[in-house]
Structures are given as C-alpha cells and as structure tokens.
Amino acid sequence: MPIAYRKLTGQDVARFIEMRIVQLREEGATEDIDLTAALEDYYRRHLADDTFVSWLAVDRDRIVATSGISIVEKPPYFGCPTGKIGLLSSMYTEKAYRRQGIARELLGRVVEEARLRGCGAVQITASDMGVYLYGSYGFTKNGNFMQYKL
C-alpha cells in the first residue's frame, strides 16, 4: 500500500507529539523537561485558530512522517510586504521511511499552505540532516539569523 498524505487533526496530536520529541532528541536536544503538556497546548490552540498546519505521511493508518508550519505575522518589510511568515517545524521522518521522497512531498505541501495563507516567506532553522533537503528545494541561507535565549 502506498504512503498516504493527510492533514493533522486533533485525534493525531498525541502521536504527533511523540514524534516531535523523538525528532528533538535526534537533533541533539539535551534538556530533560517534559514538553508533552506544552506541545499539546500549542498544537491544539494553533490548530483551532488555523495558525498551525501539518501534513502527515501515513502508512496503513500509522503516521510515519510529519511536517508543520506556523503562520506568524510581523511588521511588513521589503522582502515580505504582507508581514506573514511561515515558520517551518516538525519535519520528521521515521528512519525506515527516509530517502524515499516523503519529506520533500510534505515540505511541498506545507510551503503551499503558507502560500495560500498569504505568507511572503518560509523560514526554518534546519538540522544538519535537513540542510540538503531545504537547499535542494530552493531555500537559501540567511546569515542574519540570530537568537537571544531568555
């Protein structure tokens, strides 16, 4: 049976959170706090107000890959006159399903979601694994990204 693609629903949130935590750990996260409640709160609120959209890859009713895009708005600027930006996150594929084009398919679907919602750009802080995928899709590095941790 081929991989099926569908949007995340409230019924999927628990599995989605499990996969997000695995992703963060694979990317080297070392903080030992339980993010489950905070993630559940975030996904439920932003699914409800349509500012978070996720496409999933499903193999026989089992989610095997995830994607996500948060729609945020900031003051318009020349590179993004709408001020709306899609922040890409939750791009994760289980190891057995990697290198099959699944992540690229999910990426295309969430980028299109951002386009449909009027975003002028899509941004991501890419993991080492993701850099090749995003670069091959057309993402370019922006050397100006900096972060201040509070």
Host domain of residue 108: 4-137
- Confirm whether 13 is domain-assigned: yes
Instruction: Give the chain's domain count.
Output: 1
Residues in CB range of 8: below 8 A, 6 or more apart: 16, 43, 47, 53, 54, 55, 56, 66, 68
Mean pLDDT of the chain: 90
- Confirm whether 29 is domain-assigned: yes
pLDDT truncated to tens, each residue of the chain (150 aa)?
A: 799 999 999 999 999 999 999 999 888 888 778 999 999 999 999 999 999 999 999 999 999 999 999 999 999 988 889 999 999 999 999 999 999 999 999 999 999 999 999 999 898 877 666 777 878 888 887 766 656 566
- Confirm whether 143 is domain-assigned: no
- Confirm whether 144 is domain-assigned: no
Q: What is the CATH number of the domain that holds 129?
A: 3.40.630.30
- Confirm whether 123 is domain-assigned: yes
